[in-house]
């Protein structure tokens, strides 16, 4: 009986870690949103996965592992900001989502440039909800804010992105 339960626990442990591994590309995209350099993003992903593996006993099995991992990453990033590590910057959307085949490269570049003009809060919320497809509730839990705040930030972020794409807002460095 004891041997069977140890085997069951080992199987559960492997399944949890396997669940973490499938989310690495999404974690990399979110880390690029949070940081200014690919090497800092890689470090953040590694720190996130190390913490998740160390704390896997806290993971609730039916819960969404992707949301849990994003929450860990967001908290790690916030802690790094508090410690004043220089890493806040622009978003890199190279691999963020596979663009539709008909979307021209210049349009994708325009979207990436417009995303760089958004505030960090707006970049984060767009990445979590629009790119990663998380629910408002999951995004709220990750960011430690209310669901209504997620909805209003997302609406403002989309409006601002739309305005930038339509040329209604000036680009960085320009004056009116």
Read off the pLDDT of each residue in 140-144 and give the average, rounded to a whole number: 91
End-of-domain residue from the set 89, 122, 141: 89
End-of-domain residue from the set 72, 89, 106: 89
Domain with 109 in it: 95-176
Reference 138, options 147, 149, 130, 151; nearest CA is 147
Q: Indicate yes or no: pTM above 0.75.
A: no
End-of-domain residue from the set 89, 116, 141: 89
Tell me, what DSSP letter sits at residue 56? G
What is the rounded average pLDDT for all residues in the chain?
76
pLDDT of 95 > 90? The answer is: no
CATH number at residue 56: 1.10.1740.10
Answer for the pair 48, 69: CB distance below 8 angstroms, yes or no.
Answer: yes
CATH number at residue 120: 1.10.10.10
Answer for the pair 42, 31: CB distance below 8 angstroms, yes or no.
Answer: yes
Read off the pLDDT of each residue in 21-25 and give the average, rounded to a whole number: 88
pLDDT of 149 > 90? The answer is: yes
Residues 66, 118 within the same domain: no
Residues 10, 66 within the same domain: yes
Domain count, the chain: 2
Residues 78, 107 within the same domain: no
Read off the pLDDT of each residue in 12-20 and give the average, rounded to a whole number: 64
**Cα three-residue angle 130-84-50, rounded to 5 degrees:** 60
Read off the pLDDT of each residue in 96-103 and give the average, rounded to a whole number: 50
Q: What residues have CB less than 8 Å from 163, skipping those under 6 apart?
A: 169
């Amino acid at each position: 009986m004891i041997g069977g339960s140890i085997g069951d626990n080992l199987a559960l442990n492997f399944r949890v870690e396997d669940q973490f591994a499938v989310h690495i590309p999404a974690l990399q995209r979110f880390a690029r949103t949070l940081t200014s350099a690919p090497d800092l993003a890689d470090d953040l992903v590694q720190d996130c996965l190390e913490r998740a593996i160390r704390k896997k006993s806290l993971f609730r099995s039916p819960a969404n592992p992707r949301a849990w991992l994003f929450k860990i990453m967001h908290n790690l990033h916030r802690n790094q900001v508090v410690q004043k590590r220089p890493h806040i910057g622009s978003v890199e959307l190279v691999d963020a989502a596979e663009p539709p085949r008909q979307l021209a490269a210049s349009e994708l570049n325009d979207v990436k440039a417009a995303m760089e003009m958004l505030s960090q809060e707006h970049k984060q919320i767009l990445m979590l909800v629009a790119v990663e497809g998380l629910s408002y509730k999951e995004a709220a839990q990750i960011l430690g804010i209310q669901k209504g705040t997620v909805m209003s930030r997302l609406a403002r972020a989309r409006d601002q992105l739309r305005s930038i794409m339509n040329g209604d807002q000036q680009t960085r460095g320009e004056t009116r």
